[in-house]
Chains A and B, each alone.
Chain A
Amino acid sequence: MDNSIPLLTVLGVLPLIFSLIAFAVRGRAGKHVAFVGSLVTMVFGIWIFFAAASNDFSEMVPWIKAIGAWYALSLDGMGRAMVLLSVILVPIVLIAEWTLDSKQTDGHLEPRWGSNVFGALALMVEGFGLFVFMASDVLLFYIFFEATLIPMFFLITGWGGAKRGKAAMKFLLYSLAGGLIMLFAVIGVYAVTAGAGQPSFLIDDFAAIAMSETVQKMLFVGFFIAFAVKAPMVPVHTWLPDTAEQAVPGATALLVGILDKIGTFGMIRICLGMLPGASLWATPLVVVLAVISIIYGAVLAITSTDLLRLVSYTSVSHFGFMVLGIFAFTTSSITGSIFYMLAHGFSSAALFLAVGFLQNRRGSVAIADFGGVREFAPLLAGVFLVSGLATLGLPGTANFAGEFVIMTGAWPRQTAAVAVAVFATVLAAVYVLWAYQRVFTGQPSDEVKKSITSDLDGREKLVIGPLIALLLVFGFFPQPMINVVEQTAVTTMNVVGMTDPLPGSMGGK
């Protein structure tokens, strides 16, 4: 392979370039440009995904020599999975929000910007997100981590409900709060490496430095808080439901599907990869928080009266599983977490977008406004149910593979935590099926009869079909993807210096 072309840079820059073009080309043409851009990125990203298996695409160029910052990109198993997730989700979201520029229902406020802007912003999110997943330099990681907030802020501001401004602000300030605390830690990384002789933000360089426990813990806390906000973990999750409630489902799908993964991604890449000692130190608390998130998110999902809030609370619960897996320190639990990140990306997007279809018809996402929808839109009911079943972790869907591997892996180390977390599978059934029951079954009201006049059209099928297919494929045949992401888990386990518990190490005679 000719390494003279910086392919990873191309991958990251490609959507950004298309984004700029889409900004420049006003109106519907710009929308098409953005879509083509997302397709091109998808093709290229999928190629990279496969090609990265046998090639090392790493790039490393000194960037700001004075502070030891490198423009360093590389792609490991986890990165590949996230790249795949991102490049697939974006075109799907663009199709899903294709009609965003035309006013559909009374509940929809006028869009603030032209048709091209949504696509352009989505591509910008994608580009920045891809850089985050590829960065192997802490500063670079941080820069793109923060950079993603801006287009996301505009995505929330531009379209959606009446209180979207407030929601966007909350999202931004919350994320920024995490981000700035992380900046504190990033500067700490500089201080530590500079103190050790040569300032460097490279993750590998940092991991090689011995430092005092206090510093390690301090940095860990800084990074972890940022990731906890991002991944939404209780108690720093409240921005997500508010945001999801106001933003258009497409934007939320990008947010939850791709951007929030940065949280768990960072925990593995940075917390475990750079600060293994402190990670072990914090494990008890983190595991407790994760378990609380799992149950708490599920309970709040049950009480939600708004479908979008409901789906976002399920994400809080699911992110709890990922964090639990990460901090259980077994190869399988970490692998499971990474796999679950991918699976959750697809399932949450599917569910958000399915809710979006409902919203486009009814102009509302309040559960009370529905009932008996299945009679008029059986296909919509079907895809909602399938997405919901994936969300509740039915075997045969990718989410189950993730959850199961996480919990199985975590069981020997965190028996009590898993024993509590597993109850979320019951709660998941309650929130998904209760919502389904209230929305789709029973006798339709007059409003429902009036507003739900059509089942899924071709475009909507094109949106949800691939997602469901992916969920099923990864559910029945997770092993290929597991092979991809296991590499990261093995590396991380080596860094942390933990070994897997042997069978029989618990409960033997």
Chain B
Amino acid sequence: MLQEFLPAAPVLLVLLGGTIAIIFEGAVPRLVRPTVQAAWTLLVLLGAFCWTLYGWTVYQPQLTAMNALTLDGPAQLAWMLLLFFAALGALLFAERRVGGGESPFAPNASAVPSSQVEREAIAARQEQTEVFPLLLFSVAGMMVFVAANDLLVMFVALEILSFPLYVLSGMARRRRLLSQEASLKYFLLGGLSSAIFLYGIALVFGYAGSFYFRDIDLAIQANAQSPWLLLCGLGMVAIGVLFKIGAVPFHNWVPDVYQGAPTPVTAFMAICTKLAATMGLLRLLYVALGSLRWDWQPMLAVVAVLTMLVGSLVGLVQTDVKRLLAYSSVAHAGFILVGVIGAVTTVNGLADDRVGSVSAILIYLAAYGLATMGAFAIVTLVRRSGAEATSYASWAGLGRRDPMLGVLMTIFLLSMAGIPLTGGFVGKLAVFAAAWNGGYSWLVLIAVVASLITAGFYFRIVWVMFGQTPNSETALVSPGVGTQIVIWVGVIGTILLGVLPGPLLDIAINSAGFIR
């Protein structure tokens, strides 16, 4: 029995770690609690990462946890990426120096903003250290989501990953009203999308008579029942995941929530949620609904085109860095979808040593994650009277005041824009190549046009940072160790991935095979 669960141990470890962290809330003295929680969280994530790495070298692809989870290449790679980025996110969570010794989270999330209670909480140096276990639970949900072998587990995982995020979004120390609004919107719309997702699950279940991906695939191939049921199910399930990815027209929450949420949370969810949702979508579409390729490819193509165009065009008129990064994230969702649509896998004739859709998307996500994480880390450094200042006006001349920071931000933006010698380029190349090989060269053309438009706003920020006269009201705080680690890991990773993508690409290719 225990043996059965052993390969899934990283998930269990994270869950267990989260639970223990909750115990810490009561057991550890208040003043040392933030340090302990942060250290513990990092430790758990690191442990899980190592275990995954170990498992990756040891285990054959297999079903585990009583067939609830699939332990195949994509899942393990996604776990590693998730844990890696979650650890970086946790570093941002724990960062106190940039906030002048204060954590980025509200001292007492349940206190009414600007109330007496809150003032007292601030005075008492209270902190909501629960953010760390919340992070861990969310990560656990994501890990399950990418490895889920049936729809029900997927649904549960989706909710597990979402709930902590709803809460975390509302916990910003500054601008709490916005933060709470973000939280509410995220929660309501998330609920709506989950409900749609669930209803889709019900319909697919109705068609296939099972939640298991394998059974669903078999049922589709056997052409069990009326296809309309299945099509509706497919559409609704896809919508649920597309919502999490941030694809148009299910993207409306993204800018608002990204802007309102505390920046560390934004960074975490911008990357990890998208990563988990994308990998989940891949498994769903390739494994369970692979035989419906001819149905979902055109549908996703429409979504992808809309996503890329809306993300890039609306991004053009933004004047707030955080919000811009949100639209950038939407546009990236579109590029990712381009790769998904290609659907080039070993199942449909890809040679073993070639880049297919899965490996391309993994590379893309890695590159996107590194750049986005770094960019958000830099966002936390630009402040006006203590709070983050994210309008373009406050960012004016940043690169001239601190050239190093400007260059680092520029590298992240270049990567997002897909300029060569950065990871973003390799990601785009791989994803577009996958789409072209899958017969969607016209989509590549549109993606290329969208890339150009996105370059327009990325370089606008570069121009704002380097071309405009420095804004004297904006303060550039010096980053703490955690933030520095995040930034430098992001830069080194971005460039390494851009210059020598070979090793990671090989790993991704070797681990690109889904099993069912």
Q: Do A and B share a complex?
A: yes
A interface with B by C-beta (< 8 Å): 62-67, 112-113, 139, 142-147, 149-150, 153-154, 157-158, 164-165, 168-169, 172-173, 176-177, 180-181, 183-184, 186-188, 190-191, 194-195, 199, 218
**10 new A-B contacts at CB < 8 Å, known A184-B445, A187-B436, A190-B429:** A64-B505, A67-B354, A157-B466, A165-B463, A173-B459, A180-B455, A184-B448, A187-B433, A191-B436, A194-B437
CB of B338, distance to nearest CB on chain A (Å): 11
Q: How far is the CA of A153 from the CA of B452 in the complex (A)?
A: 15
Q: Which of A184, A186, A187, A190 has most B Cβ within 10 Å?
A: A187
- Asked if B354 contacts A158 (CB within 8 A), the reply is no
Report yes or no: A183 in contact with B429, Cβ–Cβ below 8 A: yes
C-alpha spacing A144/B354, complex, angstroms? 24
Which residues, 413 to 429 on B, are CB-close (under 8 Å) to A?
Answer: 414, 419-421, 425-426, 428-429
Complex alpha-carbon distance, A251 and B114, angstroms: 54
8 sampled A-B residue pairs with Cβ under 8 A: A63-B502, A65-B506, A66-B502, A67-B429, A153-B462, A154-B466, A183-B448, A191-B433
* Cβ contacts under 8 Å, A165 to chain B: 463, 467-468
The 3 closest A-B pairs by CB, nearest first: A143-B420, A165-B467, A180-B448
Assess whether A153 is in contact with B459, with CB atoms less than 8 Å apart. Answer: yes
On whether the beta carbons of A176 and B452 are closer than 8 Å, the reply is yes
Min Cβ gap B449→A in Å is: 7
In the bound complex, CA of A153 to CA of B410 (Å): 12
User: Which residues of B have CB within 8 Å of A190?
Assistant: 429, 433, 436
Are A66's CB and B421's CB within 8 A?
no
Cα–Cα distance between A186 and B353 once the two chains are bound (Å)? 20
Interface of B is mostly: helix
Q: Would you call A183 and B432 a contact (CB within 8 A)? A: yes
Separation in Å of the B318 CB from the closest CB of chain A?
16
Chain A residue numbers with a CB within 8 Å of B429 are 67, 139, 183, 186-187, 190
Chain A residue contacts of B21, Cβ below 8 A? none
Which B residues touch A154, using CB under 8 A? 466
Q: How far is the CA of A473 from the CA of B354 in the complex (A)?
A: 52
| Chain B CB within 10 A, most for which of A63, A143, A199 | A143
* Nearest neighbor of B502 in chain A, beta-carbon distance: A64
- Select which of B400, B444, B509 is within 8 A of A187 by beta carbon: B444
**A142 to B420, Cβ gap below 8 A?**
yes
A168 to B428 Cα, complex, angstroms: 24
Task: Say whether, besides A67-B429, A112-B400, A144-B420, A157 and B467 are in contact (CB < 8 Å).
Answer: yes
Residues of A within 8 A of B506 (CB): 65-66
Partner pick for B456 among A66, A173, A188, A218, CB 8 A cutoff: A173
Q: By the criterion CB–CB under 8 Å, are B400 and A113 in contact? A: yes
Q: Please measure, in the bound complex, the distance between the C-alpha atom of A63 and the C-alpha atom of B463, giving whole angstroms.
A: 33
Counting chain B residues whose Cβ lies within 8 A of the other chain, the interface size class is 35 or more
Instruction: Flag whether B210 is at the interface (Cβ < 8 A).
Output: no
What are the residues of chain B within 8 A of A199 when measuring CB–CB?
A: 354
Kindly state the separation between the CA atoms of A149 and B505 in the bound complex, as whole angstroms: 26
Residue of A150, A168, A180 touching B451 (CB-CB under 8 A): A180
Across-interface contacts of B420 in A (CB, < 8 A)? 142-147
The answer on a CB contact under 8 Å between A180 and B467 is no
Q: Which of A139, A169, A176, A177 contacts B460 (CB 8 A)?
A: A169
Q: A169 and B463: CB pair below 8 A?
A: yes
Residues of B within 8 A of A191 (CB): 433, 436-437, 441
Q: Please give, as numbers and ranges, the residues of chain B lying within 8 Å of A64 by CB-CB distance.
A: 426, 501-502, 505
Q: A113-B400, A157-B463, A165-B463 are in contact. Are A66 and B354 (CB under 8 A)?
A: yes
Query: A113 contacts B403, CB within 8 Å?
Result: yes
State in angstroms the CA–CA spacing of A188 and B436 once bound together: 7
| CA A218 to CA B441, docked complex, whole Å | 11
Assess whether B421 is in contact with A147, with CB atoms less than 8 Å apart: yes
Considering the chains assembled together, what is the distance between the CA atoms of A265 and B431 in angstroms? 28
The answer to whether the Cβ of B247 comes within 8 Å of any Cβ in the partner chain is no
Bound-state CA distance A181–B444 (Å) is: 10
A287 to B407, CA, bound (A): 42
Q: Is B430 an interface residue (CB 8 A)?
A: yes
Do the beta carbons of B425 and A143 come within 8 Å of each other?
Answer: yes
CA distance in complex: A165, B397 (Å): 13
Q: Which of B436, B462, B467, B505 contacts A66 (CB 8 A)?
A: B505
- Which residues of the other chain, A, contact B414 by a CB distance below 8 angstroms? 150
Taking CB atoms, residues of chain B closer than 8 Å to A181 are 448
Q: Which residues of B contact A172 (CB under 8 A)?
A: 455, 459
A184 to B432, CA, bound (A): 8
In the bound assembly, the distance between CA atoms of A172 and B462 in angstroms comes to 12
Question: B432 to A187, Cβ gap below 8 A?
Answer: yes
- Give the CA-CA distance A199 to B430 in the complex, in Å: 13
> Nearest residue in A to B351 (C-beta to C-beta)?
A194
- Chain A positions within 8 Å of B466 at CB level: 112, 154, 157-158
Complex: how many Å from CA A168 to CA B353?
41
Taking the closest CB of chain A, its distance from the CB of B315, in whole angstroms, is 14
A67–B430 contact, CB under 8 A?
yes
User: Min CB distance, A243 to chain B, in Å?
Assistant: 14
- Closest A residue to B506 by beta carbon equals A66
Residues of B within 8 A of A145 (CB): 420
Nearest-Cβ distance from residue A316 to partner chain B, whole angstroms: 23
- Which chain B positions have C-beta within 8 A of A63? 500, 502
